[in-house]
């Protein structure tokens, strides 16, 4: 751990541009320490005993929701899950009124996923407890970017100086945005590639990345490639001729995998459409770390819950 100043995180985690390189390193080092808890026979520490964490998922999720729940439980926190379909939001109650009613139960932290960009910031300004962004619209997915940074660091030793390609639907991807921020803060060279219809304007100026309309220049010699899912739910109209055509031009197959550096690795935030973003052979290859990312997601979310919801100055309570 660098020092206490590095551990002093903002009240809410909204995106990675809130954090310095030292703070990101501190989160990753804390996650490494918590990773070991998940490898024990008794996968539980008392770090957040007596704390209540609300898991508010207004949009579908498998990995993020489950790993926040597992993370909270492994830290001995109580959890309370709410989704829009099973709650009184389906009867017209507003998000803010719902949040105020949740607050009346005295929780200690709120994890939120929402289809509207800016919702975690909106709640963070109004609620006295830490708000953790679990993905908001096409804006940000900071915990995904942190678990990606942890996965890269474990395999490569560091992020600084690496060539990282991000391929796919950049314009609609909150994963791409948070990863571009996090990777640049940590000193990686980032190249993005996708169909022109899926590349947002001013990417080079705003994020300091190189932009390509074909995957090959981005993949050439890359140490890491992050393949993205096509965000059909956020696209207005069809942005490419079809899945087969997309796979032919942009999909990661064995031939394109051969363009990476010899020890280049493959990441994907999931869910993966095998046969579209990548072939089943690439998905299952030893260079694919997609399930390591899921494992690291639990450790990163344990670290963030500890740092934001727990008492930062307290020992980590790693003993059972």
Q: Is 296 a binder of ligand CP (CB under 6 A)?
A: no
- Residues 161, 166, 171, CA angle at the centre, nearest 5°? 130
Closer CB to ligand CP, residue 23 or residue 144? 144
Instruction: Give which of 88, 91, 96, 92 is closest to 114, Cα–Cα.
Output: 96
Q: Is 251 a binder of ligand CP (CB under 6 A)?
A: no
d(CA 67, CA 53) in angstroms, rounded, equals 13
Q: Is 142 a binder of ligand CP (CB under 6 A)?
A: no
Angle between helix axes 142-156 and 290-308 (nearest 10 degrees) is 120
CB-CB neighbours of 68 under 10 Å: 28
Residues 88-117 that bind ligand CP (CB under 6 A): none
| Structure-token match 């100043």, residue found | 5
- Nearest approach, Cβ of 180 to ligand CP (angstroms)? 16
Closer CB to ligand CP, residue 211 or residue 299? 299
Closer CB to ligand CP, residue 76 or residue 83? 83
- Nearest approach, Cβ of 271 to ligand CP (angstroms)? 6
Closer CB to ligand CP, residue 251 or residue 269? 269
Point out which span in 10-18, 180-188, 214-222, 265-273 binds ligand CP (CB under 6 A): 265-273
d(CA 65, CA 57) in angstroms, rounded, equals 7
Q: Is 62 a binder of ligand CP (CB under 6 A)?
A: yes
d(CA 68, CA 105) in angstroms, rounded, equals 20
Q: Is 64 a binder of ligand CP (CB under 6 A)?
A: yes
Point out which span in 39-47, 59-67, 177-185, 230-238 binds ligand CP (CB under 6 A): 59-67
Closer CB to ligand CP, residue 150 or residue 259? 150
Q: Is 118 a binder of ligand CP (CB under 6 A)?
A: no
Q: Are 290 and 225 in contact (CB under 8 A)?
A: no
Q: Is 288 a binder of ligand CP (CB under 6 A)?
A: no
Strands (E), 45-173: 52-57, 78-83, 109-114, 131-136, 163-167
Angle between helix axes 142-156 and 174-185 (nearest 10 degrees) is 50
Total of chain residues touching ligand CP, rule CB under 6 A: 9
- Nearest approach, Cβ of 230 to ligand CP (angstroms)? 14
| Structure-token match 């109209």, residue found | 237
d(CA 314, CA 162) in angstroms, rounded, equals 35
Closer CB to ligand CP, residue 45 or residue 181? 181
Please report which helix (H) or strand (E) contains residue 123, including its range.
Answer: helix 119-126
Q: Is 269 a binder of ligand CP (CB under 6 A)?
A: yes
- The DSSP bridge partners found for residue 227 are 167
Q: Is 144 a binder of ligand CP (CB under 6 A)?
A: yes
Residues that bind ligand CP (CB under 6 A): 61-64, 135, 144, 269-271
């Amino acid at each position: 751990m660098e020092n206490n100043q590095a551990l002093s995180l903002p009240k809410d985690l909204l995106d990675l541009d809130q954090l310095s390189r030292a703070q990101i390193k501190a989160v990753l080092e804390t996650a490494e320490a918590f990773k070991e808890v998940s490898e024990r026979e008794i996968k539980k520490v008392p770090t957040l005993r007596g704390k209540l964490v609300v898991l508010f998922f207004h949009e579908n999720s498998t990995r993020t929701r489950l790993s926040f729940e597992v993370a909270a439980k492994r830290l001995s926190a109580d959890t309370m899950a709410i989704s829009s379909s099973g709650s009184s939001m389906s009867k017209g109650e507003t998000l803010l009124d719902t949040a105020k009613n949740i607050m009346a139960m005295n929780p200690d932290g709120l994890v939120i996923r929402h289809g509207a960009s800016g919702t975690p910031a909106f709640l963070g300004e109004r609620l006295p407890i830490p708000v953790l962004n679990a993905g908001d619209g096409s804006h940000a997915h900071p915990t995904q970017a942190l678990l990606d940074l942890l996965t890269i660091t474990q395999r490569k030793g560091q992020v600084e100086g690496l060539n990282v390609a991000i391929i796919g639907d950049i314009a609609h991807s909150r994963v791409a945005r948070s990863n571009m921020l996090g990777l640049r803060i940590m000193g990686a060279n980032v190249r993005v590639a996708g169909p022109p219809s899926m590349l947002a304007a001013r990417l080079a100026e705003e994020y300091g990345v190189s932009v390509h309309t074909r995957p090959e220049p981005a993949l050439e010699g890359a140490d890491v490639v992050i393949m993205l899912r096509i965000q059909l739910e956020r696209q207005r109209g069809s942005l490419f001729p079809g899945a087969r055509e997309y796979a032919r031009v942009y999909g990661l197959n064995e031939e394109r995998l051969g363009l990476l550096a010899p020890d280049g690795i493959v990441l994907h935030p999931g869910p993966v459409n095998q046969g579209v973003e990548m072939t089943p052979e690439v998905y299952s290859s030893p260079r694919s770390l997609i399930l390591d990312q899921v494992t690291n997601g639990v450790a990163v979310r344990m670290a963030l819950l500890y740092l934001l919801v727990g008492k930062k100055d307290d020992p980590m309570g790693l003993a059972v």
